[in-house]
Amino acid sequence: MSGLGIALSLTTLSGCGSRSGTESADSATIADTTKPAVVDTLALKRAAMRRDSLKADSIVKKSGQLPGAILPGHRIIAFYGNIRSKGMGILGREPKEQMFRKFAGVLKEWQAADPSIPVQAALHNVTITAQGTPGKDGKWRLMNSKATIEEVLSWAKEHNCLLFLDVQPGHSTLEAELPKLEQYLKDPIVHLGIDPEFSLATMPGVRPNQRIGTLDAKDVNFTVNFLARIVSENKLPPKVLTVHRFTRKMISNYKNIKLDPRVQIVMHMDGHGDPVLKKDSYDAYIKAEPVQYTGFKLFYEYDARPKPHHIMTPAEVIALTPSPLYIQYQ
């Protein structure tokens, strides 16, 4: 939609020279002019979104990037988990200061492996988590408390990290869950992750972890539009959106995913195990079905088992084609 126009039409009755006719005309005119115009606020927002998107497109064409964009000028290195859980990843598994000391070493390894691109540290906290029980509303998911989100945000700011809030919708939907995070996404350092593995709204009766879930391009597009609006309304630099993937069915109709300069999409290879299998998955589901940028996950616990498997080195990951710009350790 290029714009929104609202036309008002007033009908004046002819008086025919009589007093009663004049009164009718006056009353009709008064009734029409005092009636408030109906404003379609949703249409206005859509028009503003379209205008901002066109403006962003024009800036990108001139400069190659929107101001403040993280990718492709940086490689993001993230520690993943939940600060309230020892079982979800390195973020939360180890005491805070011990974890950050380890993280500092990892960042140095990556910077040394590729000095041509600066590393950007990030914490990736699973903020809406799929659950083993349905809960009161039967949606099989639970959101972190405000205190937990604010605590991990303070960790990120203290250590000059980005913060990704990750969403496992369970039997809910992104449309229902993402608005709960909007207040945090207004912060320029806060970004978003969505996890199709734990998106089961199309699979009634299936408990998380019983089957691998799925999202469609329309779900990704909803998320992109949601983030783009927040960027425009709050005059923020582009947001990064990570989309986890390690099977073809986790994302359907990938060709229908629509890019927006205000949101940088990372398709993130999330599988664990033998490095050969991880590379094959990257080629099959990330490289062969490209969207925008790519990511790669490394598992401290699962990638090194059984021996002689090993956690891939920065050099091994950098050598992938395309070279991932988002790396996550779990």
pLDDT at 158: 98
The 8-class DSSP code of residue 284 comes to: I
Is residue 202 a part of any domain in this protein? yes
Q: What is the pLDDT of residue 62?
A: 62
- For the stretch 69-100, pLDDT in tens is 999 999 999 999 999 999 999 999 999 999 99
Residue for token pair 């408390």: 145
Q: Is residue 159 part of a domain?
A: yes
Tell me if 7 is assigned to some domain.
no
Residue partners of 209: CB distance under 8 A and separation at least 6: 130, 132
* In a shared domain, residues 36 and 123: no
3-state secondary structure of 119: strand
Asked if residue 208 belongs to a domain, the reply is: yes
Choosing from 59, 78, 111, the residue where a domain stops is 59
- Tens of pLDDT, residue by residue over 106-117, are 999 999 999 999
Residue 2 located in a structural domain: no
pLDDT value of residue 248: 95
**Whole-angstrom distance, CA of residue 60 vs CA of residue 57:** 5
Same domain membership, residue 164 and residue 34: no
Domains held by the chain: number: 2
Residue 45: domain span:
19-59
Q: Residue 290: inside a domain, yes or no?
A: yes
Same domain, 122 and 246: yes
pTM for the full predicted model: 0.83
41 and 86 share one domain: no
Single out the residue of 300, 315, 328, 312 nearest to residue 161, CA to CA.
328
Task: Say whether the peptide bond before residue 238 is cis (omega within 30 degrees of 0).
Answer: no
Asked whether residue 23 falls in the same domain as residue 88, the answer is no
Predicted local confidence at residue 58, as pLDDT = 66
Residue 48 CA from chain centroid, whole number: 21
Q: Are residues 154 and 251 in the same domain?
A: yes
pLDDT of residue 305: 82
CA dist 37 and 44 (Å) reads 14
Asked if residue 125 and residue 49 are part of one domain, the reply reads no
In a domain, 164, yes or no: yes
Say whether both 187 and 207 belong to one domain.
Answer: yes
- DSSP E strands, 15-172: 75-81, 119-130, 141-143, 162-167
What pLDDT sits at residue 52? 72
What pLDDT, on a 0 to 100 scale, did the predictor assign at position 273?
86
Q: CATH number, domain at 268?
A: 3.20.20
Find tokens 């200061």 and name the residue: 97
Same domain, 47 and 74: no
One domain, residues 104 and 53: no
Q: What's 37's DSSP letter?
A: P
- Choosing from 11, 30, 59, the residue where a domain stops is 59
Name residue 262's beta-bridge partners: none
Yes or no: say if 56 and 265 are a contact pair by the CB < 8 Å rule. Answer: no
Considering the domain architecture, whether residues 303 and 260 belong to the same structural domain is answered as yes
**Which regions in the chain score pLDDT beneath 70?**
1-38, 41-42, 44-51, 53, 55-64
The answer to the question of residue 238 being in a domain is: yes
What single-letter DSSP state applies at residue 82? B
Q: 218 and 89 in one domain?
A: yes
* Among 59, 79, 111, residue at a domain's last position: 59
